[in-house]
Amino acid sequence: MDNKILPMTEMDKTKDIYHSLQEQLEFLFDSLARDKINLELQMIEAKKFKLAVENASDQIFITEPDGNIIYANSALERITGYKPMEVLGKNSGKLWGGKMTKEFYEKMWDIIKNKKEIFIGELNNIRKNGETYTAATSISPVLDQNGEVMFFIGIERDITKEKEVERMKNEFIGLASHQLRTPLTGIRWFAELMLRNKENNLSEQQLDFLNQIYQSNQRMIKLVNELLDISHIETGRKFEIVKKDFMIREATEEILTENIALIKSKELNIVNDLPADLSIFADYVKIKQVLLNIISNATKYSPEKKTVTIGFTERPDKGDRVYFIKDEGIGVPEAQQGRLFEKFFRADNATGQDPNGTGLGLYIAREICRAHGGEMWFESVEGQGTTFFFSVPLKDKVINQ
């Protein structure tokens, strides 16, 4: 029998259309169901976010590009005294803010509105009842698809109590350090006098005990001086910088002489590439303190028969000179490098090798460099060594400023 294709009847066409519509409706219902589920999930997430924001301990507010407030969480009332509904449509600068200098606000608006970057700083504000307070503030611009500012999100935390505690702590450290200086200086003077043994009536053991007293006292004096420096830094008082011309190689040679016993015992190779006639215009005592800290660390944390190199590079484009001390010592663990300039911080491998350090030297050394208009930084690989760099402006640039 011949196979023939029979013509499609109207009934067959209707069935095909029905099945096609049925499939499209099923797909549509499935899509609607998925959209409903996604919408419900988004609403749940939005509720969670709103709940977190409303219960945050920090004050959170959103403003239009001109600074008028369109949202504020409940922490606003606890910190400023204003209810959230009171501040809507108003400018924070006319309510609790606006107490900083004109230059401060110009810089802040330039950062968030022109540069479109996050601003982080501390502000002196005033509560609704007239009481002043200090706030740690972060303001972030939110941009549209064209890169224009849609609104700002501000977060403020009241740090008034923390600032007061910090001030009292620094005052205590400064006072205690000043009071400790006098007796420690007296102990040093008497120890030095007795170590001379002019009457030649002290035994070797007695002289050894006296030397240990002297060395311990020297460490205490160093700690007290470091605490005084910290006190000056934390209370906003700058280092007293007395600049003059001096030969920096001579300063490094003096420090190397102070560390000669350790250098010889380890048979370290010291390469001092600083020219004898290289002059630096800076505070002699303070720069020597920087050098002492870095060179002492380089010799202390270097294994035997390694090289320590001292050198410099000119930066005419920046009007300064960079000095460096490079060692082949234990280095700094990569995970801890970001904390090396923190107060009281010491890397794990350094603590393991010498448990007696204070963790203050590098912090103070960097602040000294900054007080000179320079900076300090380092490069390090654990187990291979560290190079410390610090910059000091050239004399011509300092005088012309």
Mean pLDDT of all residues in 344-358: 85
- Residues 50-81 pLDDT 10s: 555 666 788 888 899 888 998 888 888 888 99
What is the pLDDT at residue 381? 94
**What is the percent of the chain with per-residue pLDDT over 90, rounded to a whole number?**
36
CA-nearest of 58, 74, 212, 201 to 139 is 58
Is the CA virtual torsion 277, 372, 233, 238 positive or negative?
positive
Mean pLDDT of all residues in 42-51: 57
Beta bridge partners of 63: 69, 152
Mean pLDDT of all residues in 244-266: 92
Instruction: Tell me: pLDDT of 378 over 80.
Output: yes
243-400: CATH number: 3.30.565.10
Q: Which fold has domain 54-158?
A: Beta-Lactamase (3.30.450)
Is the CA virtual torsion 381, 384, 388, 389 positive or negative?
negative
Query: How far is it, in rounded angstroms, from Cα 180 to Cα 170?
Result: 15
Say what the pTM is: 0.58
Instruction: Tell me: pLDDT of 305 over 90.
Output: yes
Between 35 and 96, residue with greater pLDDT: 96
Mean pLDDT of all residues in 227-238: 70
What is the pLDDT at residue 8? 52
Q: Side-chain half-sphere of 276: how many Cα atoms within 13 Å?
A: 0
What is the pLDDT at residue 274? 95
3-state secondary structure the chain: CCCCCCCCCHHHHHHHHHHHHHHHHHHHHHHHHHHHHHHHHHHHHHHHHHHHHHCCCCEEEEECCCCEEEEECCHHHHHHCCCHHHHCCCEHHHCCCCCCCHHHHHHHHHHHHHCCCCEEEEEEEECCCCCEEEEEEEEEEEECCCCCEEEEEEEEEECHHHHHHHHHHHHHHHHHHHHHHHHHHHHHHHHHHHHCCCCCCCCHHHHHHHHHHHHHHHHHHHHHHHHHHHHHHHCCCCCCCCEEEEEHHHHHHHHHHHCHHHHHHHCCEEEECCCCCCEEEEEHHHHHHHHHHHHHHHHHCCCCCCEEEEEEEEECCCCEEEEEEECCCCCCCHHHHHHCCCCCCCCHHHHHHCCCCCCCHHHHHHHHHHHCCCCEEEEEECCCEEEEEEEEECHHHHHHC
What is the pLDDT at residue 41? 54
Q: Side-chain half-sphere of 215: how many Cα atoms within 13 Å?
A: 6
Q: Side-chain half-sphere of 70: how many Cα atoms within 13 Å?
A: 10
What is the pLDDT at residue 196? 85
Between 320 and 165, residue with greater pLDDT: 320
What is the pLDDT at residue 1? 46
CA 21 vs. chain centroid, Å, equals 65
Is the CA virtual torsion 76, 116, 339, 358 positive or negative?
negative
Residue 308, judged by CB atoms within 10 A of its CB (0-12, 13-18, 19+), counts as buried
The strand pair at 149-158 and 132-143 is best described as antiparallel
* Residues 139/153, Cβ–Cβ less than 8 Å: yes
Instruction: Tell me: pLDDT of 238 over 80.
Output: no
Mean pLDDT of all residues in 192-205: 84
142 Cβ partners below 8 Å, 6+ apart? 149, 150, 151, 152, 153
* Residues 292/333, Cβ–Cβ less than 8 Å: no
What is the pLDDT at residue 236? 61
What is the pLDDT at residue 358? 80
248-258 and 284-300 are packed helices; what angle lies between their axes, rounded to 10 degrees? 50
Where does the pLDDT of residue 6 fall: very low under 50, low under 70, confident under 90, or very high at 90 and above? very low
- Residues 118-153 pLDDT 10s: 999 888 999 999 899 999 999 999 888 888 889 898
Query: How far is it, in rounded angstroms, from Cα 274 to Cα 174?
Result: 37
Where does the pLDDT of residue 256 fall: very low under 50, low under 70, confident under 90, or very high at 90 and above? very high
Considering the chain, what is the average pLDDT of its residues?
83
Instruction: Tell me: pLDDT of 342 over 80.
Output: yes
- Residues 284-300 pLDDT 10s: 989 999 999 999 999 99
Mean pLDDT of all residues in 191-197: 84
Mean pLDDT of all residues in 309-314: 94
Instruction: Tell me: pLDDT of 33 over 80.
Output: no
- Residues 107-120 pLDDT 10s: 999 999 999 999 99
Give φ, ψ of 357 to 5 degrees.
-70, 160
Instruction: Tell me: pLDDT of 233 over 80.
Output: no
